[in-house]
């Protein structure tokens, strides 16, 4: 699983590895989060998180689970984020910042606990693209996704801190697999070089 803050470079990383044969790449289903039967839960959440946070996170949880249980068609699968980051990072952030009501968080949490107890979600390795929030803020502005124009730097700082507490400091939730940290503030050329350096570790993680 590839993890990291918003606009840290996850999709770019996965696109790079998708050129290798025998690797299946599953990017986040963001297009679904922007359009479910003509509605845009991602946009609604950014406009009014207290009202729409549960709606988005329920749908993220469903679409992530759908990806996790897809039968493997190649020896290696790389997946962008997971059901774990949806809960431990994004739902947690909404709740902790007072933007998700307690009852919404309780319902979402029970759903999540039921899923991880009853459905196998095997993970071999977590590739964490570690960036500064400032880098993500610049890349976010450059990408210019309409719904994300309202995101302030402070939001990226909160998401960053939750990732660090979880994957680096082991202060919050159980980590479901070993973590490979790749410093990701660098330019694209250096990033591609680092991906090559880590290729074996990533591709052999399932052995």
Ligand X SMILES: O=c1ccn([C@H]2C[C@H](O)[C@@H](COP(=O)(O)O)O2)c(=O)[nH]1
Ligand Y SMILES: Nc1ncnc2c1ncn2[C@@H]1O[C@H](COP(=O)(O)OP(=O)(O)O)[C@@H](O)[C@H]1O
What residue numbers does the annotated binding site for ATP cover? Answer: 4-12, 139-143
Please choose which of ligand Y, ligand X, none residue 12 contacts, taking the beta carbon within 5 to 8 angstroms, the exact cut-off set by kind. Answer: ligand Y
Determine how β-strand 126-130 pairs with β-strand 76-79: unpaired
Stretch of 5-13, 65-73, 108-116, 197-205 contacting ligand X, by CB under 6 A: 5-13
Q: Which does 157 bind (CB under 5 to 8 A by kind): ligand X, ligand Y, none?
A: none
Instruction: State the residue for tokens 């990226």.
Output: 156
Q: Does 164 bind ligand X (CB under 6 A)?
A: no
6 contacts 151 by C-beta, under 8 angstroms = yes
Known binding positions: 4-12, 139-143
- Residue 120 structure tokens: 């196998």
* Position 7 contacts ligand X (CB under 6 A): yes
159 with 6: CB under 8 angstroms? yes
* Per-position b or e across 55-83, b if 16+ CB within 10 A of its CB: ebbbbbbbbbbebbeeeeeeebbbbbbbb
Binding of ligand X by 191 (CB under 6 A): no
Residue 43 contacts which entry, ligand Y, ligand X, none (Cβ below 5-8 A, type-dependent): none
* Binding site residues, ligand X, CB under 6 A: 6-7, 10, 28, 30, 42, 56-57, 60, 86, 90, 148
């Amino acid at each position: 699983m590839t993890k990291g803050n918003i606009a840290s470079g996850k999709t770019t990383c996965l696109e790079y590895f998708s050129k290798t044969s025998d690797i299946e790449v599953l990017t986040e289903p963001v297009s679904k989060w922007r359009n479910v039967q003509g509605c845009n839960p991602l946009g609604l959440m950014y406009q009014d998180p207290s009202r729409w946070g549960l709606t988005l996170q329920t749908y993220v949880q469903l679409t992530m689970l759908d990806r996790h249980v897809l039968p493997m068609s190649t020896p290696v699968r790389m997946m962008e984020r997971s059901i774990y980051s949806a809960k431990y990072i994004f739902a947690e952030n909404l709740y902790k910042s007072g933007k998700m009501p307690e009852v919404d968080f309780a319902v979402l949490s029970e759903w999540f606990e039921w899923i991880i107890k009853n459905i196998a979600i095997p993970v071999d390795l977590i590739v964490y693209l570690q960036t500064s929030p400032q880098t993500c803020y610049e890349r976010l502005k450059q990408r210019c996704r309409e719904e994300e124009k309202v995101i302030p730097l402070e939001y990226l700082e909160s998401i960053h801190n939750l990732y660090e507490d979880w994957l680096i400091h082991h202060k919050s939730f159980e980590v479901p697999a070993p973590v490979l940290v790749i410093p990701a503030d660098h330019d694209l050329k250096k990033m591609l070089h680092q991906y090559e350096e880590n290729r074996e570790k990533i591709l052999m993680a399932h052995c």
